[in-house]
Amino acid sequence: MAGVKSLLQVILYQPEIPQNTGNIARTCAATQTPLHLVEPLGFRISDRYLKRAGLDYWPHVRMRVHSCLEDLRRELPASRFVRFSAHARRSCYKFQFEPGDCLVFGSETRGLPKELLELETDCVVRIPINRARVRSLNLATCVGVALFEALRQLTYHAEKSFCSF
């Protein structure tokens, strides 16, 4: 991934379900967005369900596995880590994304730990849903909604530099 400039990056913190990660990898391939996985993972990278969900797009996925989030932060010191939580007050639609942002998502069953949500609280956002009817969205859906909203904001005024992804 070194030397490749991307508008955004996606980080999955301790993902548990291989099919979700495979679908997210496919979305990242379609948008030329690097995907970072932070251990421990709830599956092996060689998992057949992971590979199957990503179909034949794996050659186009720039994915790396990291032992901890701190190591990843050291690798991306200039990046802002925008964390997603169902409990955040600010909607992702009212948040101004910036080039270089890392979109951080927690595991399917636990979300992000409280200590990560308490850091830089101005960079913690939610995807608004009707919680009276639905408790949560699937992780792959959340990443898709957030990534495309951030890309929409960043490419809205761009001429044709990245709009044809």
Q: Would you say residue 12 lies in a domain?
A: yes
Q: Would you say residue 162 lies in a domain?
A: no
The secondary element (H helix, E strand) that includes residue 79 is: none
- Give the C-alpha separation, 117 to 6, whole Å: 25
Angle between helices 139-155 and 18-31 (to 10 degrees): 20
Query: Is the confidence at residue 40, as pLDDT, over 80?
Result: yes
pLDDT, one tens digit per residue, over 93-123 is 999 999 999 999 999 999 999 999 998 899 9
The CATH number of whichever domain residue 115 belongs to comes to 3.40.1280.10
Q: Would you say residue 52 lies in a domain?
A: yes
Place of tokens 């913690």: 124
From 3, 12, 39, select the one nearest 147 (Cα to Cα).
12
Give the residue-averaged pLDDT of 13-36: 93
pLDDT of residue 43: 80
Q: Would you say residue 160 lies in a domain?
A: no
Q: Would you say residue 2 lies in a domain?
A: no
pTM (2 d.p.): 0.88
Q: Would you say residue 3 lies in a domain?
A: no
Q: Would you say residue 74 lies in a domain?
A: yes
- Give the C-alpha separation, 40 to 68, whole Å: 8
Give the residue-averaged pLDDT of 38-53: 78
pLDDT of residue 50: 66
Q: Would you say residue 165 lies in a domain?
A: no
Q: Which residues pair with 6 in a beta bridge?
A: none
- Is residue 11 within 8 A of residue 28, CB to CB? The reply is no
Query: Is the confidence at residue 63, as pLDDT, over 60?
Result: yes
Q: What range does the domain containing 147 cover?
A: 8-130+137-155
> For the chain, what is the domain count?
1
pLDDT of residue 80: 96
